[in-house]
Chains A and B, each alone.
Chain A
Amino acid sequence: MTISIRSVEKKFGRYPALNKVGLEIADGELLALLGPSGSGKTTLLRVIAGLEFPDAGQVLFHDQDVTFASAAARRVGFVFQQYALFKHMTVAKNIAFGLDVRKGKDKPSKVEITRRVDELLRLVELEGLGGRYPSQLSGGQRQRVALSRALAVQPSVLLLDEPFGALDATVRKSLRKELRRVHDATGVTTIFVTHDQEEALDLADRVAILNQGVIEQVGTPEQVHDHPVSPFVCGFVGESNRFEGVVSGGRFTSGSVFLPATGLADGPAVAFARPHDFSLDGSGFEVRVNRVHIQGALAHVDAETADGRRIDVVTSRDQAEHFTGTVRLAARKAHVFPA
């Protein structure tokens, strides 16, 4: 199922939650909507789901206009952050709900529903828990139930609103893998909302980055990380050190710090340099090393310039011993944007 979103606008009172948003989602794609809170990512997801209706613009499913169709008519599977399970129903009843509310000849037989529920419980590795109530499950298990409940109706698109937000880090990581596996097994077009960039980059085929109701960039995780198109994307995706200064003669300068800015016009600019793009270089600028801490194969260095600005550097562990006292740093590359 391909999905097209065409210049969608949505206001809550005076506050614009979505401002002329356009997005194309390919069939079978796993897309992340990434942004800080208040960026409009959840609103966009709810507009796609039919839980919220836009003030202007169009939503197309497979070239069919569904802008004002109900959630049920769109056949979307929606997974909520707080699971939204039906507490008074067993796990099996929860999963079966979407099939059970169908009427007439659309409604599968009891045997068929039971078979489907068992199949889904197997898919999310919850076999044997069909008779439990949601209150008897852990958070991770509840979210798996919510996922299989959404999948039970064989949705044309699976939408997840911060699906792992309420879970602890370990469970979150394993469920992330699980979602990828379920997506690959079912091939259903999937869109999920997150404010966790690591989650988005790790899981998605493509990432759409939203800020203040506008999509700043859409691309593969590599594209948005390595070739950010705006200062916002650069600052939001991946770690970076931010500097304000000027470009002159292909070089960005900010106090004692200088970075490469080949081919950029002269003028005030803002620059971002990734921690792992710094290395020791005799021709670089001077910093004082405050602390080095080892984390697995990497060494994190807290450095400080002469005028007191902090710079984070990440280097390989075997380089760590060279970071003592005052050293000279240079960046292999930097993302410089005219201010």
Chain B
Amino acid sequence: MTAETAIAIRPTGRPLFRRRSAIPGFTLTLGVTLTVLSLIVLIPLSAVALKAAQLSPSEFLAVAFSQRAMAAYRLTFGAAFVAAVINGVFGVLTAWALVRYEFPGKALVNALVDLPFALPTAVAGIALATLYAPNGWVGSLLTPLGIKAAYNPIGVTIALVFIGLPFVVRTIEPVLRDLSDDVEEAAASLGAGRLSTIFRIVLPALGPSWLTGFALAFARGIGEYGSVIFIAGNMPFKSEIAPLLIIIQLEQFEYAHAAAIAVVMLAVSFLMLLIINAVQAWARRFS
């Protein structure tokens, strides 16, 4: 036996912040994550806050909580919420149809679901506005019923439903697919009818991923600009969304005013996503 064949075991110090783990890459992945998050998310967002801080507190309140801004927040968050709820219902149905059944043209439907991801939002907005305008294909059918679907909050909601649908479908789909048949068979053998099985077994199991899809669609709806402005009509106090208000301020070179409104939107969005995350953690208590 020579010294070369002996394996050198060097005593290493206990790491300060983490436990030793056999799974590699902790330092690398966390480092990259923090760097990217800082460059892409944190630094620009703090710049927004800094810009807004140029205003005095009273100026900030006057700009950020003016009547016009309040109306815009209400519309933005309200329409995004309603659209997310609508997507929450139809997204589940769409995912259900895609996962559970074979039908002709399924591949086409599957591709169509993703289209709102890919389509330039302005194209979607123009198309929707043309369709839902009082003289458009759909709008002309709604007008006799006394429903005005474009150039008002309903129009905003329609645009946000379009934008948000894939989020719910694509988050529900894999979970629904993984839900094994035997769980439903077990429910049936225990005497549950079809409706009981769906409402007591399948939908609760989808709960956490549904919330994820809902949160994504909601967040997307809050930030959506391109498709909405074409169908909204953009009347101050009525159908003007907060992102548009920010653009208007920018066009008037009121950068600090734009930042103030942005800060409010950021704060509210962040708060809402935090709440949704908390609800999600609660809903996942069983896994």
Contact = CB atoms under 8 A, between A and B. Distances in A.
A153 B186 contact: no
Contacts of A72: 188-193
Given A84-B180, A84-B183, A135 B286 contact: yes
A50 B182 CA distance: 13
Interface stretch (B26-34, B46-54, B102-110, B200-208): B200-208
Given A87-B205, A88-B286, A133-B285, A80 B191 contact: no
A135 B284 CA distance: 11
B252 interface: no
Contacts of B193: 72, 101
Interface centre among A75, A80, A102 (most CB of B within 10 A): A80
Contact of A98 (B180, B183, B191, B287): B191
A174 B191 CA distance: 30
Given A72-B192, A101-B200, A135-B286, A88 B182 contact: no
A71 interface: yes
B131 to A, nearest CB: 40
A243 interface: no
B206 to A, nearest CB: 10
B182 A153 contact: no
Interface in B195-233: 196, 200-201, 204-205, 207
- Give the size range of A's interface with the partner: 20 to 34
Given A78-B186, A82-B182, A88 B191 contact: no
Contacts of A78: 185-186, 189
B180 A101 contact: no
A153 B207 CA distance: 27
B132 to A, nearest CB: 39
A49 interface: yes
A88 B186 CA distance: 14
A108 to B, nearest CB: 13
B187 interface: yes
A102 B182 contact: no
Contacts of A75: 191
Looking at B190, B285, B287, the one whose CB has the most chain A CB atoms below 10 A away is B190
Contact of A86 (B185, B188, B201): B201
Interface residues of B, number: 21
Contact of B188 (A71, A87, A88): A71
B175 to A, nearest CB: 11
Contacts of B201: 86
A195 interface: no
A49 B186 CA distance: 11
Contact of A77 (B187, B188, B189): B189
Given A82-B180, A88-B286, A51 B185 contact: yes
Contact of A97 (B180, B187, B207): B187
A142 interface: no
Nearest to B287: A135
A10 to B, nearest CB: 16
A72 B188 CA distance: 6
B55 to A, nearest CB: 48
Given A84-B185, A86-B183, A88-B205, A98 B286 contact: no
Contacts of A71: 185, 188-189
A76 B185 CA distance: 12
Contacts of B180: 82, 84
B190 A98 contact: yes
A135 B189 CA distance: 22
Given A70-B188, A72-B190, A80-B185, 13 more contacts: A50-B189, A51-B185, A82-B182, A84-B183, A85-B183, A86-B187, A89-B286, A98-B191, A101-B200, A133-B285, A135-B286, A149-B190, A150-B189
23 contacts: A49-B189, A70-B188, A71-B185, A71-B188, A72-B190, A72-B191, A72-B192, A76-B189, A77-B189, A78-B189, A82-B180, A82-B182, A84-B186, A86-B183, A86-B201, A87-B287, A88-B204, A97-B187, A97-B190, A101-B193, A133-B285, A146-B186, A150-B189
